[in-house]
Structure 1
Amino acid sequence: MSDSSPQQDWRSRLLAPAVKWLGADSRPLGMPRNDFARLCEHLRPADIVLVEGRTRISGVIQSVTLSAWTHAALCVGRLADLEESEATRRLRAEGVTDATSILLEAELGRGVHLSPVTRYAREHLRLCRPRELSATDAQAVVAYALARLGTPYNLRQIGDLLRFFFPYGLLPRRWRSTLFEAGHSDMARTICSTLIARGFASVRYPILPTIHRGADGDMVFHRRDARLITPRDFDHSPYFDVIKYPFFGDDVARYRELEWDDDTRP
């Protein structure tokens, strides 16, 4: 599904260099801090994969959200579980196997698309799992996200991101960034965490609700605007479990036996 127009197409071509520059790595690839093979083995539909990005865009998001997590992707199941489509045929043509877990994500320059989890094999990841989410609701969240497949990114977001690379105080107030502000729904429509938040809202599952005491004294939950949800909110949410897969696994209980590169002790 796509709502692109001839006007958006020529704007996309015009802004392609800016998209490429923003998406370029600004930091070298580091050493992964988790057992990626185990993470892939235990991924479930509706799990959230958080990524600590290394691009110029990631640096902006880290500055805005004060968090290392710059990107969120939704696991939609293994390739063999997805309905046949142009997107799945493209993945198979790229050599992705049926047993590979597939992520749905929204990215600047690509819009909403599918990717194999293996694209993040050497990145620092965190897995967030919605606690007690029923299998039926998990499939509903996945279906909501898949229905938005092909939605284009919004061109205004490029300008918002570019503004962060200029001295903020020198810009007129009307030019300053509105990234993640509630009043700009079009700009935020394909931000990765916004799309995922709307999927969970469709089954009334909480992420970071605001809680107030009602007139009768009972606690009342107020759903937070999906446009204000950022990748770190899935990490901070009390309704999502953080699943970690350390390299040593259960063997970490034998930490005194681990071999280190030196024998010095504090």
Structure 2
Amino acid sequence: MSGWLGRALSRYLEGERPAAQPYVSQDFEALCRTLRVGDVLLVEGRARVSTAIKYLTQSTWSHAAICVRDRRGGGECELVEVTLAEGCHRVPLSKYRGYNTRICRAAALGDDERAAVAAFAESRIGLTYDTRNIIDLARYLLPTPPVPVRWRRQMLAFGSGDPTRAICSSLIAQAFQSVRYPILPTIRMLRASGGTRHQRQEIWHIRHHSLFVPRDFDLSPYFAVIKPTLEVGFDHRRIQWAQSDPQAPADGIGAVDAGPEAGASGKIMG
């Protein structure tokens, strides 16, 4: 009975609300051309559970997936992600066409290390979330629980089972930790051996993977934010601004259809 209720609750929480947030116009083809193996794709989700995650993490981003196949390998881009209903599985990048997304790229990884990170994620395909932990799932039914900010992140790791599998960023954090790449490590300053009190030594500690959330990859100083429209080449001089709308500002700033001459950016939102 618990398993049945858990699966039903998972399907409900993963249900999408298309009008959940406005879509910022992006060029999906540019996203496909820019994404590389090992990149983290952050997503502003539309599922019911996304509202709770965005509130608890105080972030725009409610979901994260990792690229395991890019255009350079031939074929279409593929991601590995973790969801409540399906656990860890592979999806095409086209699943997130029309979503607000952000690419976060580990700045110092070599190709072999990128492949190792992707392989780690792929090796976890098939892991499932224990839907019998009804309490773990029920916490997402209240999108904005009245708890202090300092406790919100801990709520994502609450439960008696293995709730961290419901948070996609936990798997991705483990993948990068497997090649000892930092995300947001805990750094403590210690007095250097034989040194004065002004001399300190940085000791880096690996934070437990269950404590990572999607926005940590955005905040990390070791991940670069990649914007596909700029990567494929953007020239503002090619934009055809609308001039016929009497309600438009004199300087032409506003939401317009840039037309085919706008290059890779498509519709430009002013």
- TM-score, length basis structure 1: 0.77
SS in structure 2 of the partner of residue 214 of structure 1: strand
Q: Deviations over 1:122-181 (max 9, x none)?
A: 111101110020111111111111111100113266533423435956xxxxxx996333
**Which residue of structure 2 aligns with residue 200 of structure 1?**
176
Q: 2:44 is aligned with what amino acid?
A: E
Q: Is 1:26 aligned to residue 17 of structure 2?
A: yes
| 1:218 counterpart (191, 194, 201) | 201
Question: Aligned-pair distance for 1:71?
Answer: 0.4
| 1:229 counterpart (200, 204, 212) | 212
Q: Is 1:264 aligned to residue 249 of structure 2?
A: yes
**Which residue of structure 1 aligns with residue 267 of structure 2?**
none
Q: 1:61 is aligned with what amino acid?
A: I
**Which residue of structure 2 aligns with residue 114 of structure 1?**
90
Q: 1:35 is aligned with what amino acid?
A: D
Question: Aligned-pair distance for 1:222?
Answer: 1.5
SS in structure 1 of the partner of residue 23 of structure 2: coil
Question: Aligned-pair distance for 1:219?
Answer: 1.4
Identity %: 37
Q: 1:76 is aligned with what amino acid?
A: V
Contact 1:22 1:57 in 2 (8 A): yes
Contact 2:59 2:215 in 1 (8 A): yes
Of residues 134-143 and 179-188 in structure 1, the stretch that sits farther from structure 2 once superposed is 179-188
SS in structure 2 of the partner of residue 218 of structure 1: strand
Counterpart mapping for 1:1-266 below 5 A: 11-28=2-19, 30-78=22-70, 99-155=75-131, 159-166=135-142, 168=145, 179-181=155-157, 186-216=162-192, 217-246=200-229, 250-254=233-237, 258-260=240-242, 262=245, 263-265=248-250
Inter-partner Cα distance in structure 2 for 1:25 and 1:139: 32
Inter-partner Cα distance in structure 1 for 2:158 and 2:139: 18
Q: Judging changes above 3 Å, is the alpha-carbon distance between structure 1 residues 14 and 33 closer, same or farther for their aligned structure 2 residues?
A: same
Q: Deviations over 1:186-229 (max 9, x none)?
A: 22135210000001001100001121212201212121111111
Inter-partner Cα distance in structure 2 for 1:15 and 1:133: 39
Paired residues, number: 235
Runs of 5+ unmatched residues, structure 2? 147-151, 193-199, 252-270
Contact 1:26 1:55 in 2 (8 A): yes
Question: Aligned-pair distance for 1:48?
Answer: 0.5
Q: Deviations over 1:8-46 (max 9, x none)?
A: xx6443323212211112342743432211111121110
Inter-partner Cα distance in structure 1 for 2:2 and 2:80: 25
Q: 1:26 is aligned with what amino acid?
A: R
Inter-partner Cα distance in structure 2 for 1:75 and 1:186: 24
Q: Judging changes above 3 Å, is the alpha-carbon distance between structure 1 residues 111 and 24 closer, same or farther for their aligned structure 2 residues?
A: same
Q: Judging changes above 3 Å, is the alpha-carbon distance between structure 1 residues 188 and 251 closer, same or farther for their aligned structure 2 residues?
A: closer
Inter-partner Cα distance in structure 2 for 1:16 and 1:161: 10
Q: Judging changes above 3 Å, is the alpha-carbon distance between structure 1 residues 125 and 36 closer, same or farther for their aligned structure 2 residues?
A: same
Question: Aligned-pair distance for 1:75?
Answer: 0.3
Q: Judging changes above 3 Å, is the alpha-carbon distance between structure 1 residues 132 and 185 closer, same or farther for their aligned structure 2 residues?
A: farther
SS in structure 1 of the partner of residue 55 of structure 2: helix
Inter-partner Cα distance in structure 1 for 2:86 and 2:131: 11
Inter-partner Cα distance in structure 2 for 1:265 and 1:79: 42
Inter-partner Cα distance in structure 1 for 2:130 and 2:95: 24
Contact 2:133 2:161 in 1 (8 A): no
Q: Judging changes above 3 Å, is the alpha-carbon distance between structure 1 residues 215 and 185 closer, same or farther for their aligned structure 2 residues?
A: farther
SS in structure 2 of the partner of residue 160 of structure 1: helix
Contact 2:63 2:168 in 1 (8 A): yes
Contact 1:151 1:190 in 2 (8 A): no
Runs of 5+ unmatched residues, structure 1? 1-9, 82-97, 170-175
